[in-house]
Amino acid sequence: MGNLRDNPGALLCVVGARPNYMKMAPLLRAFRSNPALPPAVLVHTGQHYDPMLNDRLFADLALPRPDINLGVGSGSHAVQTAEVMRRFEPVVDEHQPSCVVVVGDVNSTLACSLVAAKKGVPVAHVEAGLRSFDRAMPEEINRILTDQLSDLLYTTERSARDNLAREGIPAERVHFAGNVMIDSLLFHKSRAVPAVQTLQAARAGFGAEGYGVVTLHRPSNVDEPEALRESLDILREVSERLPLVCALHPRTVARVDSFGLSHLLNTGRIAVLPPQGYLEMLGLMAWATLVLTDSGGMQEETTALSVPCLTMRENTERPITIEQGTNTLVGRDRALILRLVDEILATGGKRGRTPELWDGRAAERIAAHLARWLATHPMPLHA
C-alpha cells in the first residue's frame, strides 16, 4: 500500500450502452453540483456506437460529451468484456480515481468494475442487487459479479438488499437510494415529444384507437428463428386489436432480415421505427394504451408513468414493478397476452402506484452519501 493521497482522484463514471445513459445523466449532474465531491470524469466504453443508440440519447439527456471514449464496439461477450478491460486499465492508471462509478448490468459495467477492484479502487454500483435468478441472461451474470466487486451498492428497491444478503454481501455496503432512471424520467417528462408528432413523422397514421409501443431485443426472444417468429406472430395478432409502434434495436432488425421474417411485420397496423431518442420514447410510452417489451428499464418507466406493461420474459429482476406497478410477465404466452390486451382495452388495465423513493432525487442522495463515504475512507495511492 502506498501513501494516503492529499488530493482525492476523480470519480470515473462509466457508461457503455443505451440503458446506462439515463442512469448516469442525473448522477453526473448531482456529482458535478456537489462541491464535496472530486471532479467527475465521464468514460464511454463505446459498447454502443450506433448514432440512434448513442449520440442522440446523449443530446436528449443533456449528458456532456464523454471525456474519454474507449471505442470498443461490438464483439462476443468475452471479446467485448476483455477489450473494455484492456482499454480501461490505463485510464485508471492515469487518473488514480478515488472511485469508479458504474450503473446497471451491461458488459461494460462488469468489465470496469473488475479492473477497478483489482487495482484497489473502490467501486460504486448504482442499481445493485437486482436479480432475475436466470443465469441464461448475460446481464444476470454481470449483476452478480459487479455486486461482489463493489464497495458501495446503491439499490432501487428493498428486495435488492435480501438478494445481496443471500450472496454474502455485508449489509453496511448496501444503501437504498431510489431509482436514478426515474430521476431522468421526471426531469425530462415535461419535454417529452408528443406521440402524435413521432407517429406523424413515421407516417403511422393511427387515429383515436390509440396504439401500443413495442421493443424487443433480448437474445431469448430474437436470436432463435422460432422464438422470433413466435414473437412476431403474437405482435401481428395483437395489432389486429390495437395498432403497434415497434422501435427496433439494430440487433432485432438484423435477425428479422437474416431469418427472412420481415413479411410478418408487413401490415398497415404495425409501424416499424428505428431506435428512438429518449424524448420521443418517453412521449410514445406516456401516451400509449400499453407497452409490450422485453426491456429492463421500460418495466420501471411504465410503472412510473402508470401505463400497463406486458413484459415478454419469463422472469424479471424488478419485482416491484409487478407487486406495486403496472407490469405483468407474459413470456410468449399468446393466449395470456391476447387476454390481457383485451382486458386493458376494456378497463385500462393495471394502474399501480409509484414505488418508494422513485421520487426524482435518487442521484442527489447517492452524491451526498458518496461524499460522506469518501471523506471517511481516504484512498491509498495505487500500485
Minimum CB distance to ligand UD1 smaller for 279 or for 344: 279
Residue 62's identity, in one-letter code, is A
Q: Is 301 exposed, middle or buried (0-12, 13-18, 19+ CB in 10 A)?
A: buried
Minimum CB distance to ligand UD1 smaller for 293 or for 303: 293
Q: Applying CB under 6 A, which of residues 10, 15, 53, 195 lies at the interface with ligand UD1?
A: 53
Q: Confirm whether 48 is a catalytic residue.
A: no
CB of 74 to ligand UD1, least distance (A): 4
CB of 172 to ligand UD1, least distance (A): 29
Q: Which residues contact 86 (CB under 8 A, 6 or more apart)?
A: none
49 makes contact with ligand UD1 (CB under 6 A): yes
- The count of residues interacting with ligand UD1 (CB under 6 A) is 19
Q: By C-alpha distance, which of 131, 130, 158, 128 is closest to 356?
A: 158
Find the binding residues for ligand UD1 in span 251-290 (CB under 6 A). Answer: 251, 254
Q: Which stretch binds ligand UD1 (CB under 6 A): 14-22, 115-123, 166-174, 304-312?
A: 14-22
Distance of CA 222 to CAs 128, 286, 316, Å? 27, 26, 18
Q: Applying CB under 6 A, which of residues 249, 255, 313, 350 lies at the interface with ligand UD1?
A: 249
How many Å apart are CA 292 and CA 305, to the nearest integer? 14
Q: Applying CB under 6 A, which of residues 83, 127, 139, 301 lies at the interface with ligand UD1?
A: 139
Q: Applying CB under 6 A, which of residues 8, 66, 138, 331 lies at the interface with ligand UD1?
A: 138
Q: Applying CB under 6 A, which of residues 106, 152, 270, 330 lies at the interface with ligand UD1?
A: 106
> DSSP 3-state assignment of 267?
coil
Q: Are 281 and 104 a contacting pair, CB within 8 Å?
A: no
- Catalogue the E-assigned strands of 90-150: 99-103, 123-128
200, containing H or E segment = helix 195-201
Catalytic residue chosen out of the listed positions 48, 217, 249, 377: 217
Euclidean distance between the first and the last CA atom of the chain, given in angstroms as a whole number? 7
Q: By C-alpha distance, which of 126, 193, 103 is closest to 362?
A: 126
Q: Applying CB under 6 A, which of residues 5, 8, 32, 50 lies at the interface with ligand UD1?
A: 50
Find the binding residues for ligand UD1 in span 148-187 (CB under 6 A). Answer: none
CB of 81 to ligand UD1, least distance (A): 9
DSSP string, 14-29: EE-SHHHHHHHHHHHH
Q: Applying CB under 6 A, which of residues 66, 250, 274, 331 lies at the interface with ligand UD1?
A: 250
Find the binding residues for ligand UD1 in span 209-228 (CB under 6 A). Answer: 217
Distance of CA 199 to CAs 178, 232, 280, Å? 33, 21, 10
Q: Which stretch binds ligand UD1 (CB under 6 A): 37-45, 154-162, 202-210, 250-258?
A: 250-258
CB of 335 to ligand UD1, least distance (A): 27
Residues that bind ligand UD1 (CB under 6 A): 17-19, 47-50, 53, 74, 80, 106-107, 138-139, 217, 249-251, 254
What residues act catalytically? Answer: 217
